[in-house]
Amino acid sequence: MTPPIPDRYARQLVLPEVGEEGQARLAAAAVAIVGCGATGTVIANHLVRAGVGSIRIIDRDWVEGNNLQRQLLFDEKDAREQTPKAAAAERRIREVNGEIRVQGIVEDLNATNVDALLAGCHLVLDGSDNFEVRYLINDWCVREGLPWVYCGAVATYGMTLLIRPGVTPCLRCLFPEPPAPGTAATCDTAGVLGPAVGIIASQASVEALKWLLGHTDALAAGLIHVDAWETTWHVFEITRKSGCPCCERHEFPHLEEAAVSHATALCGRNSVQVTPARTARVDLEAAEERLRPVGPVSRTPHLLKLDLGELQLNLFPDGRAIIQGTDDESVARSLYSRYVGS
């Protein structure tokens, strides 16, 4: 921890909604941010500057040039070096506020590690880009009785909702099933306006701060929907879905699907992530030696890259791999099996 900076929170402390007592509450709080892309970087930036005492950032990906348009914690050096987003965010946050505890975790949140990665947090914030992770967070938080903030943005609009198990409807009341493939707008099909991300992620941060400060009476009364281009702002009341399998029947299938490995196409990347059934540490140095006869190999402390011409295999220490150059999950699985193993 660095020495405290005098008056760091002075403009916040004069707010009647915060004050000395509220600032102490923030300092004692621990939050997890799952995903550190467009929305996640904005949320992390706001919470660290507000003085939230412990911030855990979980992200599976690395920084690329096209991220810099909207992902506020990264710079050109991060993109050139393809630094893992969680590691880059941790470094930047330490430069912004050395008084807080920050942990960047370069892992893929899944059913095999969710208990360990989210344990001890008071609030979970969604900075992900897919519903698979959001349903996992929803199942875990409802099971644990822990609040979480859903947040998403695409094109010029975004949505956010603070979910309090036992008090409000859960995500599956709002979205009983994930969108069918090809039916939902994504960042690669619809694009994304940077300021729109900033607006909705900032509002998600406000809702998080309200809850952490104990001002539950001030929380939005439903799903906040903002379109930055159309200059519209709506709060939609959400009702609990009768017979909701998650928050009424307490069925948590997304916490139980750990028996097989899975492949997930990544938003706007022409890439597929392959995650093994069991998390296991990979010796990247040994893997580099084994794969060198296959093609050009490069390695950093965080990942190994194997160039296969039109395809590239990126192997992480937790056994996860991202196959670039295809959105075909069967091709990615085959490549993983051939060069990494089953």
Q: Which residues are catalytically annotated?
A: 187
* Cα 205 to Cα 211: distance, rounded to the nearest angstrom: 10
DSSP codes joined into one string, 5-28: PTTTTHHHHTSTTTHHHHHHHHHT
Task: Yes or no: say if 313 and 298 are a contact pair by the CB < 8 Å rule.
Answer: no
CA distance between the termini of the chain? 42
CA gap 310, 7 in Å, rounded: 54
Residue pair 32/118 in contact (Cβ under 8 Å)? The answer is yes
What's the rounded Cα separation, in Å, for the pair 22 and 16? Answer: 9
Q: Per the structure block, which two tokens stand in for 48?
A: 């660290």
Strand positions, DSSP E, the chain: 30-34, 54-58, 101-105, 123-126, 148-154, 157-163, 223-227, 232-236, 262-266, 271-275, 297-299, 304-308, 311-315, 321-324
Among all chains, which residue has been given the structure tokens 């709002």?
Answer: 174
